[in-house]
Structure 1
Amino acid sequence: MMASKISPDPFCLLLLSSLIITCPLLGSSTVSQDDRKSYIVYMGDRPKSELSASSLHLNMLQEVTGSNFSSKSLLHSFKRTFNGFVVKLSEGEVEKLAAMSSVVSVFPNRKKKLHTTRSWDFMGFPQEVQRTTVESNIIVGVLDSGIWPESESFNDAGFGPPPIKWKGSCQVSSNFSCNNKIIGAKYYRSDGIFYQSDVKSPRDSNGHGTHTASTAAGGSVSMASLYGLAMGTARGGVPSARIAVYKVCWSDGCWDADILAAFDDAIADGVDIISISIGFPEPRDYFNDSIAIGAFHAIKYGILTSNSGGNEGPGLATISNISPWSLSVAASTIDRKFLTKVLLGNNKTYEGVSINTFDLQNVMYPLIYGGDAPNITGNFNSSYSRFCFLNSLDPALVKGKIVLCDALGSGREPFFAGAAGVVMQDEGAKDVAKSFPLPFSYLGTREGGNILSYMNSTSNATATIYKSNEENDTSAPRVVSFSSRGPNVFTPDVLKPDIAAPGVDILAAWSPLSPVSEVEGDDRMVPYNIISGTSMACPHATGVAAYVKSYHPTWSPAAIKSALMTTASPMSAGLDNDAEFAYGAGHINPVRAINPGLVYDAGPIDYIKFLCGQGYNRSALRMITGDNSICSDTINGTVWDLNYPSFSLSISHSEVISRVFNRVVTNVGSATSIYKSGVTAPPGLKIQVKPAILSFSSLGQNLSFSLTMEGTVDSSIVSASLAWDDGVHHVRSPIIVHVALKRKP
């Protein structure tokens, strides 16, 4: 393919010479020698000219730079397997050079490092980020399916004894012990019933708990991968922090009684942050929800609970962990995706989505349509077998063949039936890859239809499936389709989720007792696995919260949560139509979070006022708080006065809006500072902030303001924002106005 001229934007990077990419043109300017920067000039294959590569490159430079030519500006010539050179250029010279017909692309000589598992680097949180010397005093409590203590991610080399504040213990057994990284571990099973796959100790037989714990606080492990996929350094957000494990999940699920018992212990043991990637399919009232209850009691001891939002998306009102005193996390993509090619016998190739580690060595296998292989003896017909439902396929017909199925499934049925591979096709979202127990690719209906047409055109249809490739996802971050959305069905005027964090295709430590695909019979047992879910997003937020805690050990859970939310990077409603109901305050930004400038603080009394305003029973509240708190004129608050870092208002259709929100911000930035308010709002919605300027004279000072909304909106979801800015800190809060959904009975 003939390469077209590439516009010389110094931030445009070509990955392959065969790509044609148009980048924004730069304005020409005169720049001194001192302002020249190092660029890569890529010219494709080896030079065909008899002139040496170095001479060719020097001639090109002389033509571009004219009287400014200096041979010293040519830093290196590539000449053995491809053609190009490294050179110092001004922006104007970049433009001239890139316009040459022999040049494919020009891009900055960026500094790169050893590959990592991407999620932390993608958030701008590199390994060498500044850390405190007391990070090892931070204890992350993980409520999950246990942990695999022998994983290299939990190696305690270089760790001293547990922090003095630690009051927990380790349930040591013949198959489990702790160390100075995993300082505590307990398991809970209130009914005393254990099944064959359960391990009666804190040891993880599922993999989920090991994955989440290592994502939040695992140590750095180089050369980690899943059979070569996602190769890099696996690490947690706070690799020097300690981990306390509370095993509450078993082969039959995670029970409320065990969750509450674990919260009880974790709070008393002295953890700093609680991470729980568990939830219900549907939200429950705050105090009919073990997680909300546990999190409420945790805040009284200064412990923030970070929890997953749920995987019931993309429908609205599907988020399940919704208590205002906890951090609810949505799952976002990172700049990596896994694609799997399918090659047909007619040489047509289709690219689907999956994490396929199997290598069929280019061997072509017979193709069969699931609808043509019903298990008749099992009373199944083609209307079932086309979807490859459990037991619906005839093993005698599909064994050793690649099966085309009409819906995404787990791959269990073709696997158990002896298939060589599976191609599944439907109209579902293709924004997340999964592992299956056999070679697998997930395609759209158009591609699937083409494959079926090919199968109908010949009596010898064949195909093969390739091992997955990693590709760059330029649309990241965006909220993945499965991530549960708001609004909060019990309190629509408290925005949920709070924030988005990486939760798609995350590599982290794994239990070798659990197969890669989590399907029984899959014999791939690995130390690191790639999985997705808000379960993976939650420990990313946990790690960042622990990082902030290491800098600000006296901050309240609300202050830490505020820091994460108000420093988040705004996300685009163009990519996520559900706007703040998909991503909350935006995408988490760890480095900015340690210095937010202002925080929206709150304590137990603020949540009690909120509950009073929500009409909670007085006697029930007394039991919850453990004191003589009663709802009165002084202990009563509207939801709009809860000191939350976001603003949400539910309205009815065509309602004329008139609502006042009262807030208090605490200065944690510069002792003497002046913050100016800035508001963005759509037409028809007038938002005023009084006072518009806040002047602080000391650290820790609190100042109040009110935000008034007036007007009308013509959409079901309308987004706006408020930002306080002192020239150094940008303290942003999302504002959302939405038409109230009808609540399910």
Structure 2
Amino acid sequence: MASRIYAPSSFLFLLIMIISTGLIGSGGSHGNSDHGKSYIIYMGNRHEGGEAAAQSLHLNMLQQAIGSEFASESLLHSFKRTFNGFVAHLTDHQVSKIAGMPGVVSVFPNKINKLLTTRSWDFMGFSQQRARRTSLESDVIIGVFDSGIWPASESFHDDGLGPPPAKWKGSCQFPPNNFTCNNKIVGAKFYRTSNSTFAAGDARSPVDSNGHGTHVAATAAGNLVGGASLYGFGEGTARGGVPSARIAVYKVCWADSCYFSDILAAFDDAIADGVDLISLSLGAEISRDHFEDPIAIGSFHAMKEGILTVDSAGNDGVQGLYTVRNFSPWSLSVAATAIDRQFFAQVRLGNNQTFQGIAINTFDIGNTMYPIIYGGDAPNISGNFSSSISRLCANNSLNPDLVRGKIVLCDSIVGALVPVLAGAVGSIVAIDRPAGAPAENPPSPVSVLTRRQGSTILSYIRSTRNATATISKSNVGKDEQAPYIASFSSRGPNPAILDILKPDISAPGVNVLAAWPPNVPITPYPAETRTSRFNFQYGTSMACPHVTGAAAYVKSHHPKWSPAAVKSAIMTTAVPMSPEANPDAEFAYGSGHLNPLGAIDPGLVYDAGEPDYVRLLCGQGYNTTAVQMIARDNSSCWERGNETVWDFNYPSLAVSATAEEVVTRVFNRVVTNVGGSGNASYRAVVESPEGVRVRVSPGVLGFRAVGERLRFVVTVEGAVAANSTVSGSLVWDDGVHKVRSPIVVFDSAM
């Protein structure tokens, strides 16, 4: 099995595939079936004897488990540069033997993860004219774990950039198709540790044959490119958050998705190569054990070396709560919002009624009126389809003789493309779009209306024998309600540690324009032939690199800040969002909406280092043996103290409680003065959640030096109703800075 990319692939395309081919499997075991499935054996910190000794140890362990004859054949990959472990084919019996060996932290299947602009940066107030420290930005190296990159894109030219920083130790793989790095793309590697087969179209190199990785890298750190657009839509200057930053590419995702082992191999390399940040727009299956999750494992070791990992929250929000994918305390998890740009495609009927639909309709059929038919009136009877199926315009359900040359009204998003495949001119889709859904962009004229509008159009069709309609090419309008959380964006609570709020932050993730490989079609539809140098995409995959870019911007101003300090700066300066406008409140948007400019001057930060995370792990039930293998020293959990989750220095405060029970939670926190003034006085401003009392002691923090650390205690007392969440906030205010932490109290059984 494998992992998922939080891909921007269209929901419409997904439905077409499900209806036409049935349920799609998420993967399966690979390699020689005689040797079992592929497993990852994680062994904690780097082997003290070096890389050769680590690989020798791994072979020795396999020899003990399966015999010397098959050990080298079963060993697929050794992790030996920055942490210790390996990948191997094992039977269930061999897994048990390996799991019981000294030094093994965890053994888990090598599964699959999935891949989860001209306007988005401006929308957040981060304008192109903003003064920058270009020389310091160019010292920041962003490691992008994705589907590769299209190096020829203007977004990745190296004009004006000098050689990479001296700290860079990475390399560029030059396979037969001659991928070339430059002073912008300073390194590029690709991984295929556990499966030597490739799908048709896969580029066996760091070159992107998917588009996702190119789009993500350009959003985070692409150059300024004028005249960018998709067929004239979104025209403007495309740019990343830090256009002068360097990019290191780690291709871990392929046509069959992204394997755990490849992700861990990329972490092993990226940490040793010298990246400053890791951007990871993909996510594993939900695992409650951090050390059976490759992203949590890799990002933990990255944190130990001063590297912040920014990752996607996931695209499973329509399934409800507890769907957030990446939730380790040491990473920064990003939810997706809609920006204030929307695309409208007008529908005009023969009776002159007009309807404003949503779509990126790049096709211009002029003012020509075409006959319009309801899909339910055109079933493909010879294919055994009834009107109850054809009204949805499901694959092959429409009678080509009845829809040819017409516009088809469909009751499902699947109908955005299927009618055209049956010979229709275009389609009108009547559904109730969820909030923040992206504008559809199939390779045919389309407009997505509401069900109520669809009913009006159906009444018109029924009223005359000569019903006609036309669909206009799209125009750009403004969404006044933005930003708000997209319906697809995954929700908390945190499934592993309830009282650490996840996701952490939200950022633009709908209709984001960025670079695209010109040899990759702009949508995944089978009939797609359009290509472009830039493309619109959506997903928490697109939100993640916005936060990565903001983190790189912070690093360019504060290169010595720890990952936790950068994370705190981003979270505590976020723009508060409305729980009334966003169902699930903080479980949807975390601390709020990204504010890149505010993050470089947060005033105070909630800092933490490896010892703090280790104490948290001790408090979460990890034993001394496991913690010693993961950490750098041999002190025990007893010596460290079993820190409660409420003592962990996190920038947000969450309380899970049994419904109707009055609970008291005490949070111990420490803030560090990073403002420009040594003498600063911060006053606590509390907005208590409904039905809850919040006390802060002391109520004023008086700093006398930059870098000074002061402690305070927050006591939260009260009860919460069944299946409910209440929220408030604590703000430390010195008259210039407003250091905001959300306070969330919720029913743990919801």
Give 2:747's aligned residue. Answer: 739
Does residue 187 of the first structure (1) align with residue 193 of the second (2)?
A: no
Give 2:733's aligned residue. Answer: 725
Compute the displacement of 1:679 (Å). 0.8
Matches within 5 A, 1:170-569: 170-173=172-175, 174-190=177-193, 191-280=195-284, 282=286, 284-314=288-318, 315-409=320-414, 411-429=416-434, 431=436, 432-569=438-575
Q: Which has the higher contact order (CA 8 A, sep 6+)?
A: 2
Residue identity opposite 1:659 in structure 2: R
Specify every segment of 5 or more residues in structure 2 that has no aligned partner in the other structure, as ranges: 1-116
Residue identity opposite 1:729 in structure 2: H
Greater mean deviation of Cα atoms: 485-494 or 713-722 = 713-722
Give 1:83's aligned residue. Answer: none
Residue identity opposite 1:270 in structure 2: G
From the superposition, tell whether residues 211 and 417 of structure 1 become closer, same or farther in structure 2 (CA, over 3 Å): same
Greater mean deviation of Cα atoms: 644-653 or 726-735 = 726-735
Residue identity opposite 1:447 in structure 2: Q
From the superposition, tell whether residues 373 and 189 of structure 1 become closer, same or farther in structure 2 (CA, over 3 Å): farther
Compute the displacement of 1:375 (Å). 3.2
Render the CA deviation track for 1:329-365: whole Å, top value 9, x for unaligned: 1111222111111112222111111111111122222
Compute the displacement of 1:454 (Å). 1.5
Give 1:169's aligned residue. Answer: 171
Render the CA deviation track for 1:35-70: whole Å, top value 9, x for unaligned: xxxxxxxxxxxxxxxxxxxxxxxxxxxxxxxxxxxx
Render the CA deviation track for 1:707-735: whole Å, top value 9, x for unaligned: 00112344711111111122222111111
Greater mean deviation of Cα atoms: 367-376 or 146-155 = 367-376
Give 1:135's aligned residue. Answer: 137
Give 1:582's aligned residue. Answer: 588
Which one of 678, 681, 685 corresponds to residue 678 of structure 1?
685
Residue identity opposite 1:296 in structure 2: F
Instruction: Name the CA distance, whole Å, in 2 between partners of 1:708 and 1:193.
Output: 56
Does residue 622 of the first structure (1) align with residue 628 of the second (2)?
A: yes
Aligned-partner SS, 2:716: strand
Aligned-partner SS, 2:206: coil
Q: Contact 2:659–2:719 (CA<8 Å) still a contact in 1?
A: no
Aligned-partner SS, 1:210: helix
Give 2:61's aligned residue. Answer: none
Which one of 643, 646, 649 corresponds to residue 643 of structure 1?
649
* TM-score (ref. length: structure 2): 0.81
Compute the displacement of 1:560 (Å). 0.1
Q: Contact 1:283–1:318 (CA<8 Å) still a contact in 2?
A: no
Aligned residues with identical type, % of pairs: 61
Instruction: Name the CA distance, whole Å, in 2 between partners of 1:333 and 1:470.
Output: 15
Compute the displacement of 1:282 (Å). 4.4
Q: Contact 2:343–2:477 (CA<8 Å) still a contact in 1?
A: yes
Instruction: Name the CA distance, whole Å, in 2 between partners of 1:120 and 1:159.
Output: 22
Q: Contact 1:283–1:322 (CA<8 Å) still a contact in 2?
A: no
Compute the displacement of 1:284 (Å). 4.9
Q: Contact 1:148–1:510 (CA<8 Å) still a contact in 2?
A: yes
Instruction: Name the CA distance, whole Å, in 2 between partners of 1:410 and 1:291.
Output: 37
Instruction: Name the CA distance, whole Å, in 2 between partners of 1:536 and 1:678.
Output: 34
Which one of 701, 706, 713 corresponds to residue 694 of structure 1?
701
Q: Contact 2:339–2:510 (CA<8 Å) still a contact in 1?
A: yes
Instruction: Name the CA distance, whole Å, in 1 between partners of 2:628 and 2:406.
Output: 65
From the superposition, tell whether residues 411 and 281 of structure 1 become closer, same or farther in structure 2 (CA, over 3 Å): farther
From the superposition, tell whether residues 188 and 418 of structure 1 become closer, same or farther in structure 2 (CA, over 3 Å): farther
Q: Contact 2:308–2:331 (CA<8 Å) still a contact in 1?
A: yes
Residue identity opposite 2:725 in structure 1: I
Aligned-partner SS, 1:134: helix
From the superposition, tell whether residues 382 and 616 of structure 1 become closer, same or farther in structure 2 (CA, over 3 Å): farther
Residue identity opposite 1:738 in structure 2: F
Aligned-partner SS, 2:543: helix
Compute the displacement of 1:430 (Å). 5.1
Instruction: Name the CA distance, whole Å, in 2 between partners of 1:410 and 1:734.
Output: 42
Instruction: Name the CA distance, whole Å, in 1 between partners of 2:626 and 2:421.
Output: 52
Aligned-partner SS, 2:638: coil
Greater mean deviation of Cα atoms: 668-677 or 284-293 = 284-293
**Aligned residue pair count:** 627
Aligned-partner SS, 2:283: coil
Instruction: Name the CA distance, whole Å, in 2 between partners of 1:354 and 1:625.
Output: 51
Compute the displacement of 1:206 (Å). 1.2
* TM-score (ref. length: structure 1): 0.82
Instruction: Name the CA distance, whole Å, in 2 between partners of 1:378 and 1:667.
Output: 71
Compute the displacement of 1:380 (Å). 2.8
Matches within 5 A, 1:46-61: none
Compute the displacement of 1:326 (Å). 0.5
Instruction: Name the CA distance, whole Å, in 2 between partners of 1:629 and 1:738.
Output: 36
Give 2:41's aligned residue. Answer: none
Render the CA deviation track for 1:659-684: whole Å, top value 9, x for unaligned: 10111111111222221111111443
Instruction: Name the CA distance, whole Å, in 1 between partners of 2:139 and 2:715.
Output: 43
Residue identity opposite 1:117 in structure 2: T
Q: Contact 2:576–2:592 (CA<8 Å) still a contact in 1?
A: yes
From the superposition, tell whether residues 238 and 613 of structure 1 become closer, same or farther in structure 2 (CA, over 3 Å): same
Which one of 637, 648, 656 corresponds to residue 662 of structure 2?
656
Aligned-residue Cα RMSD (Å) equals: 1.7
Instruction: Name the CA distance, whole Å, in 1 between partners of 2:287 and 2:453.
Output: 37
Residue identity opposite 1:188 in structure 2: Y
Render the CA deviation track for 1:541-600: whole Å, top value 9, x for unaligned: 000000000111111100000000111111111211321111111111111111111110
Residue identity opposite 1:227 in structure 2: Y
Give 2:118's aligned residue. Answer: 117
Residue identity opposite 2:678 in structure 1: A
Aligned-partner SS, 2:356: strand
Residue identity opposite 2:739 in structure 1: V
Q: Contact 2:728–2:743 (CA<8 Å) still a contact in 1?
A: yes
Residue identity opposite 2:170 in structure 1: G
Instruction: Name the CA distance, whole Å, in 1 between partners of 2:649 and 2:199.
Output: 46
Render the CA deviation track for 1:630-681: whole Å, top value 9, x for unaligned: 3215332111111100000011110102110111111111222221111111
Q: Contact 1:544–1:590 (CA<8 Å) still a contact in 2?
A: yes
Render the CA deviation track for 1:75-102: whole Å, top value 9, x for unaligned: xxxxxxxxxxxxxxxxxxxxxxxxxxxx
Residue identity opposite 1:256 in structure 2: F
Give 2:101's aligned residue. Answer: none
Instruction: Name the CA distance, whole Å, in 1 between partners of 2:395 and 2:266.
Output: 36
Matches within 5 A, 1:29-48: none
Instruction: Name the CA distance, whole Å, in 1 between partners of 2:402 and 2:201.
Output: 32
Aligned-partner SS, 1:689: strand
Q: Contact 2:415–2:429 (CA<8 Å) still a contact in 1?
A: no
Specify every segment of 5 or more residues in structure 1 that has no aligned partner in the other structure, as ranges: 1-115
Q: Contact 2:575–2:593 (CA<8 Å) still a contact in 1?
A: yes
Q: Contact 1:281–1:310 (CA<8 Å) still a contact in 2?
A: no
Greater mean deviation of Cα atoms: 625-634 or 358-367 = 625-634
Q: Contact 1:434–1:531 (CA<8 Å) still a contact in 2?
A: no
Give 2:14's aligned residue. Answer: none
From the superposition, tell whether residues 200 and 393 of structure 1 become closer, same or farther in structure 2 (CA, over 3 Å): farther
Q: Contact 1:281–1:312 (CA<8 Å) still a contact in 2?
A: no
From the superposition, tell whether residues 281 and 441 of structure 1 become closer, same or farther in structure 2 (CA, over 3 Å): farther
Does residue 705 of the first structure (1) align with residue 709 of the second (2)?
A: no
Compute the displacement of 1:627 (Å). 4.1
Render the CA deviation track for 1:177-224: whole Å, top value 9, x for unaligned: 111111111111220111112111111111111111000000001111
Instruction: Name the CA distance, whole Å, in 2 between partners of 1:491 and 1:376.
Output: 54
From the superposition, tell whether residues 143 and 683 of structure 1 become closer, same or farther in structure 2 (CA, over 3 Å): closer
